[in-house]
Structure 1
Amino acid sequence: MLENVEDLRRVLGLDKKRGHKVLLRAAFGTALLASFVVGARSILHRRAENARPHYTTERIAQQDLRVTVSATGKLQGLNTVEVGAQVTGKVQRVLVDYNDHVTKGQVLAEIDPEELRAAVEQQRAQVLSAEADIEQAKATLLEKTQARQRAVEQSKLGLIAQKDLEAANAAAMRAEADLAGKRANAEIQRANLKSNTSKLGKTKIVAPMDGIVLSRTVEQGQTVTAGYTTPVLFKVAEDLRKLGLLVDVAEADIGRVREGQEAFFTVDAYPGRQFPSRVLSVRNAPKGDDAKSNDSKTTEQNVVTYVAVLAVDNTDRVLRPGMTATATIVSETTPNATVVSNAALRFTPPPSASAGPPPRAGEKRLYVRHGDALSAVLVKTGASDGTFTELVSPLLSVGSEIVVDVAQP
């Protein structure tokens, strides 16, 4: 019986040094073979695992579902007026600046009145001259009327010829016409005086209402020309504590937007903060057809848009006119709705799995996992907020586990 290494070495006829080498080689070979067997088993196991389908699942939930419409636009004062110049001239004084509070009738700027004042004085003289012409015409008419009366009496006595009577009558009629012309001319001169006086008064640019100056586009010494278009000198907003948000709503979404709907919006100046709002009005004319729109194009990239006006409470004065805002209008709210993610509705099973029966009109497919197999369930859906969709079919209840994606092993 071999009781130790020495006995084995004697049987094999090995010396002590050579025996150690043989034993080491045999041990190494055995270890290598065992490692190969373990590695092969691990590879086969991984291949088997990879061959099995892996799915990501979620559960059907119950929550409030809000269907929304997104739109972008700009903030502006609810009652903003552009104040312009109605007369031509050099700006003599500018009395207000940006952000100044003004009251109705307050003078904002003055245009040099010298030329218009001279025109008023000249026109006043024209009125006086016209009135003097009227008095002279009255005197002439009186003279011609008296001459006609004498001619009539003399004609009755046979003291004058018929032609002399006719001449006196014509002279009186010409005097009456001349007086009427002089009176008409006087009316024209008075109207011109009134017009020039009005223009003189318009050299003072006044605030049309109480408010705040949003912009000033004129400097002292600048010449403004009032032609076919009125040059805008100031922009005045009535009350910045209440603003309006004008957003462009796409044609596809305008049917879901109505007056009174709740909304909220964000601005880049205050990231992460949502400002509450509500729909004040929805304009019927497409953008560009609206006279108040600055965009002359009715469509942009072949998409018709409509303007919705949102009311904004700006009591804390953190919002400013002209800010770009992204608004979300809540068009529909369903409390405690049974919802499923849109990812589950978009899921397509791998080719190895059965796709299930084709959905009918108004139906969609969800997939339920049974071990490594999938089964399709046809469901009816309702409103969607873009992330979740309401389930109106009773086939699946809250808490049911459904497949949303194929997971990576």
Structure 2
Amino acid sequence: VAESDIGRIQPGQAVSFRVDAYPGAAFMGKVSLVRLDPVIEQNVVSYITTIDVPNPDLKLKPGMTANVTVEIDRASHVLRVPNAATRVRPTADVFTALGQAFPDVGESAEEWEHTEAQATGGTLGTPASARTGEVWIFRAGRLEAIPVRLGTTDATHTAILAGPVTEGLDVVTAIAMQTSATPSPSTTSSPLIPPRRPPSAGRGTSGQRTP
């Protein structure tokens, strides 16, 4: 495991992987050991990590090359948005084409989270991996920014831990500039994972409506 990633690898984490010999099969295991002796090759530092994997059929053989995924975090019963929605950055040309001044993002995610905690009589926990950001919506011909606190992410989606974002809200994932018309933001919905949440989950967004 590369030096840049080893800090997130811990014994007991779930692992899935595939091997070229069985392209349609997924194998599951767990991290059992991270060796402290670094391996240095061409000034690149890595650490040997041992994974325990059941092999009852003896399909896995010494020397096989595997593409491994280690689960370093998990989020359940939270709102999520496509990763593309967190990377949208409208330019000045976009707002000029819309006849719109650059909007004020408004209340920060931290301020919104504090207000929500006071309203619900509790506090909202923030994982160390959480970070602030914004998503954009296209409403009544105008782009509007919504401040959010972002959580766990994977290859396709990012969890929303706090912010005035609700299930079913269409968010901008891309903006295509046209030569003779206003930009056309593409939108997609932000569903819950899974469809139902327990009463105590999602306090940061439960029951909130966007302005």
Matched residue, 2:7: 255
Larger relative strand fraction? 2
User: CA contact under 8 A between 2:109 and 2:163: conserved in structure 1?
Assistant: no
Please state whether the residue corresponding to 1:340 is helix, strand or coil: strand
Within 5 A, what are the aligned runs for 1:298-337?
A: 298-300=40-42, 302-337=43-78
Please state whether the residue corresponding to 1:356 is helix, strand or coil: coil
Match of 1:397 among 163, 166, 169: 166
User: CA contact under 8 A between 1:365 and 1:376: conserved in structure 2?
Assistant: yes
Cα displacement (A) at 1:406: 2.0
User: CA contact under 8 A between 2:109 and 2:162: conserved in structure 1?
Assistant: no
Residues of 2 paired with 1:365 and 1:335: CA distance?
21
Question: For residues 406 and 311 of structure 1, do their structure 2 counterparts lie closer, same or farther at Cα, with a shift above 3 Å needed?
Answer: same
Matched positions, count = 150
User: CA contact under 8 A between 1:349 and 1:355: conserved in structure 2?
Assistant: no
Residues of 1 paired with 2:47 and 2:102: CA distance?
42
Match status 1:279 vs 2:31:
yes
Residues of 2 paired with 1:395 and 1:303: CA distance?
43
Matched residue, 2:142: 373
Cα displacement (A) at 1:303: 3.4
Mark the structure with the bigger radius of gyration: 1
CA deviation vs aligned residue, 1:97-150 (integer Å, no higher than 9, x gap): xxxxxxxxxxxxxxxxxxxxxxxxxxxxxxxxxxxxxxxxxxxxxxxxxxxxxx
Residues of 2 paired with 1:371 and 1:250: CA distance?
48
Matched residue, 2:20: 268
Residues of 1 paired with 2:83 and 2:44: CA distance?
26
User: CA contact under 8 A between 1:355 and 1:376: conserved in structure 2?
Assistant: no
User: CA contact under 8 A between 2:74 and 2:152: conserved in structure 1?
Assistant: no
Letter in 2 for 1:344: A
Question: For residues 363 and 357 of structure 1, do their structure 2 counterparts lie closer, same or farther at Cα, with a shift above 3 Å needed?
Answer: farther
Letter in 2 for 1:376: A
Q: Percent identity?
A: 34
**Runs of 4 or more above 6 Å deviation:** 358-361
User: CA contact under 8 A between 2:150 and 2:159: conserved in structure 1?
Assistant: yes
Question: For residues 281 and 315 of structure 1, do their structure 2 counterparts lie closer, same or farther at Cα, with a shift above 3 Å needed?
Answer: same
Larger relative helix fraction? 1
Cα displacement (A) at 1:317: 1.4
Please state whether the residue corresponding to 2:4 is helix, strand or coil: coil
Cα RMSD between the aligned structures? Answer: 2.2
Question: For residues 395 and 360 of structure 1, do their structure 2 counterparts lie closer, same or farther at Cα, with a shift above 3 Å needed?
Answer: closer
Within 5 A, what are the aligned runs for 1:99-118?
A: none
Residues of 1 paired with 2:80 and 2:152: CA distance?
9
Residues of 2 paired with 1:394 and 1:345: CA distance?
13
CA deviation vs aligned residue, 1:205-233 (integer Å, no higher than 9, x gap): xxxxxxxxxxxxxxxxxxxxxxxxxxxxx
Match status 1:356 vs 2:103:
yes
Query: Where do 5+ consecutive residues of structure 1 fail to align?
Result: 1-248, 288-297
Cα displacement (A) at 1:272: 2.6
Match status 1:345 vs 2:123:
no
Cα displacement (A) at 1:335: 1.2
Cα displacement (A) at 1:408: 7.4
TM-score by length of 2: 0.64
Letter in 1 for 2:57: D
Cα displacement (A) at 1:256: 1.2
Query: Where do 5+ consecutive residues of structure 2 fail to align?
Result: 96-100, 111-130, 179-211
TM-score by length of 1: 0.34
CA deviation vs aligned residue, 1:1-36 (integer Å, no higher than 9, x gap): xxxxxxxxxxxxxxxxxxxxxxxxxxxxxxxxxxxx
Residues of 1 paired with 2:132 and 2:89: CA distance?
15
Residues of 2 paired with 1:308 and 1:336: CA distance?
31
CA deviation vs aligned residue, 1:303-348 (integer Å, no higher than 9, x gap): 3211110012111111211100111111111112211111011112
Cα displacement (A) at 1:394: 3.1
